[in-house]
C-alpha cells in the first residue's frame, strides 16, 4: 500500500506539472496593443492588416487594435503620451520629437527609404522645382513630409519664402489638390500613396519631384515605441516586432492576400475592385523600399546604422535639429527576430 501511495502522489505531481507547463500558452491573457497609423488606412498598411486578419499578432499573444492617424507627428505623440502602444510613421518626425525630449525610439523599420516628394498637377506648367517660385502647395500640419522640404528647396536654389504652404486636413488633401484650392499647384506627399489616390479620384498622372533627387537620403517609416514600454515590457516589444516582421514577409510573398485582409477590415470602397487596385499600387511602392541599399543582407525591420547617421547629419545641417546624442540614441535593433 505504501508503494501504491507514493506512485499516486508522483502521478499527481506529474499531471500538475503538465498543467502548469501548458497554462502559459493555453490560458495566458492576450496583451491589448494599440497601433497608431500615420494616416487613414492605405496600401502601405496592408501588412499590419494581414497580421491581424491571419492571426500573426494573436499567435504572439497580442490583441491588436489598429487606429488611423492624422500625420506621423501626431501618431508618435500619441505613443509618447501613452494613448497608443506603437506607431507607424516618419522616422525623421520621430527623431525631431525625441530630440525635444519625447520618450520615443524606433524598434524596427518598415519603409527603409523615404518616398517623399513634391507632387504637382500636370497642367500647372511646373517642369522643374525652380518653377514653383511664387506658387502655392498644400500639406498637412503634422505630416513627416514637411521635415525635409526646406532642404529640397535650398538644394534647388529656392528659399522657404519663395513658396506658399497651406495646411489642410489629411482627408481633404487630394480633393483640395484636384480643385486647386487656394490656387495651389500641388501637394507635399508620399509617392507610395498620393499618386494612386489622385488617379483613383479622376486626376491625371501628376508630375513628381522626389526628395531623394535633391540630396535627401533618409530612413523612411519606423515602428516607434515609448521608451518606458521598452524598459518595462521588453517581451511585448519583442513579440510585436516579431509578428510585424512575419506579417510583412508574408505580404512580400502574397501582396494580394494582404490587400484582401485590409479590405475585409476596412470595408467600404476599399473592398471594391477599384479600392483594392489602388491599395495594391500603393503597397507595391512600399514593398520596393523595404530594404535600403545599405541593408546588404536584406534583414527586414533593420535600423541600418549608416542610414541613420546620414539622416541625423542632414537634420542637424539643414533642419536645425538640436541634439548631442548619436544616431544610436534614436533606434534599437534589440527586438528584431534572431
pLDDT tens-place values along the chain, 338 residues long: 434 343 333 434 444 344 444 444 444 689 999 999 998 999 999 999 999 999 999 999 999 999 999 989 999 999 999 999 999 999 999 999 999 999 999 999 999 988 999 999 999 999 999 999 999 999 998 787 898 899 899 999 999 999 999 999 978 999 999 999 999 999 999 998 899 999 989 999 999 999 988 988 889 999 999 999 999 999 999 999 999 999 999 999 999 999 999 999 999 999 999 999 999 999 999 999 999 989 999 999 999 999 999 999 999 987 789 999 999 999 999 999 99
Say yes or no: 94 and 171 in one domain: no
Say yes or no: 89 and 165 in one domain: no
Q: How far apart are CA 268 and CA 238, in angstroms?
A: 34
CATH classification of the domain holding 269: 3.40.190.10
Domain that holds residue 54: 29-112+220-330
**Radius of gyration of the chain, Cα coordinates, nearest whole angstrom:** 23
| Other Cβ atoms closer than 10 A to 201 | 12
Identify the domain boundary among 178, 193, 214. Answer: 214
Residue (of 259, 61, 70, 89) closest to 167 by Cα position:
70
Can you give the pLDDT at residue 147?
Answer: 83
Identify the domain boundary among 214, 247, 275. Answer: 214
The phi, psi pair for 89, rounded to 5°, reads -175, -175
Question: How distant, in Å, are the alpha carbons of 251, 252, 259, 267, 307 from that of 273?
Answer: 19, 21, 11, 12, 37
Can you give the pLDDT at residue 10?
Answer: 42
β-strand pairing of 62-67 with 136-139: unpaired
Which of left, alpha, beta for 257 (phi over 0: left; psi -120 to 50: alpha)?
alpha
Residue 215 grid coordinates: 540630396
| Other Cβ atoms closer than 10 A to 82 | 12
Can you give the pLDDT at residue 12?
Answer: 44
Can you give the pLDDT at residue 18?
Answer: 43
Say yes or no: 232 and 309 in one domain: yes
**Residue 9 falls inside a structural domain:** no
**Residue 17 falls inside a structural domain:** no
End-to-end CA distance of the chain: 53
**Residue 285 falls inside a structural domain:** yes
Amino acid at each position: 500500500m505504501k508503494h501504491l501511495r507514493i506512485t499516486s502522489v508522483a502521478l499527481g505531481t506529474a499531471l500538475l506539472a503538465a498543467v502548469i507547463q501548458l497554462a502559459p500558452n493555453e490560458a495566458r491573457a492576450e496583451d491589448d496593443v494599440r497601433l497608431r497609423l500615420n494616416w487613414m488606412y492605405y496600401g502601405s498598411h496592408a501588412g499590419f492588416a494581414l497580421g491581424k486578419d491571419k492571426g500573426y499578432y494573436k499567435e504572439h499573444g497580442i490583441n491588436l487594435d489598429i487606429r488611423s492617424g492624422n500625420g506621423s507627428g501626431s501618431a508618435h505623440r500619441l505613443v509618447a503620451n501613452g494613448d497608443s502602444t506603437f506607431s507607424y510613421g516618419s522616422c525623421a518626425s520621430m527623431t525631431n520629437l525625441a530630440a525635444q525630449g519625447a520618450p520615443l525610439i524606433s524598434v524596427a523599420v518598415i519603409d527603409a527609404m523615404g518616398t517623399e516628394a513634391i507632387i504637382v498637377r500636370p497642367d500647372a506648367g511646373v517642369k522643374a522645382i525652380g518653377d514653383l517660385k511664387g506658387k502655392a502647395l498644400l500639406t498637412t500640419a503634422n505630416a513627416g513630409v514637411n521635415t525635409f522640404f526646406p532642404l529640397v528647396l535650398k538644394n534647388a536654389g529656392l528659399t522657404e519664402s519663395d513658396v506658399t504652404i497651406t495646411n489642410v486636413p489629411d482627408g481633404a488633401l487630394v480633393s483640395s489638390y484636384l480643385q486647386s484650392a487656394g490656387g495651389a499647384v500641388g501637394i507635399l506627399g508620399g509617392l507610395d500613396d498620393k499618386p494612386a489616390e489622385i488617379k483613383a479620384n479622376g486626376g491625371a498622372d501628376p508630375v513628381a519631384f522626389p526628395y531623394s533627387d535633391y540630396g535627401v537620403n533618409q530612413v523612411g517609416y519606423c515602428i516607434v515605441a515609448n521608451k518606458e514600454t521598452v524598459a518595462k515590457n521588453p517581451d511585448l516589444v519583442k513579440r510585436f516586432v516579431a509578428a510585424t516582421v512575419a506579417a510583412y514577409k508574408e505580404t512580400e510573398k502574397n501582396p494580394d492576400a494582404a490587400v484582401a485582409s485590409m479590405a475585409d477590415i476596412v470595408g467600404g470602397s476599399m473592398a471594391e475592385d477599384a479600392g483594392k487596385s489602388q491599395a495594391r499600387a500603393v503597397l507595391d511602392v512600399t514593398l520596393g523600399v523595404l530594404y535600403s541599399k545599405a541593408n546588404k543582407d536584406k534583414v527586414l525591420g533593420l535600423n541600418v546604422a549608416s542610414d541613420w547617421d546620414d539622416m541625423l547629419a542632414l537634420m542637424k545641417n539643414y533642419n536645425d535639429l538640436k541634439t548631442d546624442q548619436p544616431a544610436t540614441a534614436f533606434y534599437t535593433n534589440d527586438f528584431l527576430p534572431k
